[in-house]
């Protein structure tokens, strides 16, 4: 509830350099599924209606033949919530890490899926 309109939050897998990059680090290593985390957070966390993208995903450092399967799970989950149906933004790994450093907080999970990192921008809490 400390986050304001426009603040960003990162949910990351267990391989993300969260401890060295976060302004505010929240460790939830016991959660092995970011989807489970999103199920808990998104009903209380409005997405920013003014943001061009509801979801930002981190591209792998090395080009893959196919998109990481976890991406479609993230997209499908975010689409279930108001303002979540916008196209996701895919950014390169180093750019994602730089953006994560500016985020309000990084939530480090035990997610094991490759490229299991996403960023969301908070919207306005309805009255």
Q: What is the pLDDT of residues 20-76, one digit of tens each?
A: 999 999 999 999 999 999 999 999 999 999 999 989 999 887 777 788 999 999 999
Task: Provide the 8-state DSSP code for 40.
Answer: H
The whole model's pTM is what?
A: 0.94
For residue 104, what pLDDT is reported? Answer: 98
Average pLDDT for the chain = 94
CA atoms of 10 and 14, how far apart (whole Å): 13
Please indicate whether residue 5 is annotated as part of the active site: yes
Which is catalytic among the residues 1, 4, 5, 53? 5
Q: What is the mean pLDDT of residues 101-119?
A: 96
Domains of the chain: 8-113 (3.40.1650.10)
Contacts 24+ apart (CB under 8 A), 59-67: 59/90, 59/91, 59/92, 59/93, 59/96, 59/115, 60/93, 60/114, 60/115, 61/93
Q: Are 90 and 59 in contact (CB under 8 A)?
A: yes
């Amino acid at each position: 509830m400390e986050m304001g309109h426009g603040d960003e939050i990162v949910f990351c897998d267990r391989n993300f350099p969260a401890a060295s990059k976060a302004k505010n680090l929240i460790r939830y290593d016991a959660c092995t599924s970011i989807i489970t985390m999103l199920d808990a957070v998104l009903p209380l966390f409005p997405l920013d209606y003014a943001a061009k993208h509801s979801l930002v995903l981190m591209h792998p450092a090395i080009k893959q033949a196919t998109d990481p399967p976890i991406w479609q799970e993230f997209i499908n989950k975010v689409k279930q919530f108001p303002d979540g149906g916008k196209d996701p933004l895919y950014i390169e790994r180093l750019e994602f890490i730089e953006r994560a450093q500016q985020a309000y907080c990084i939530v480090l999970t035990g997610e094991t899926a490759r490229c299991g990192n996403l960023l969301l921008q908070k919207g306005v809490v309805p009255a």
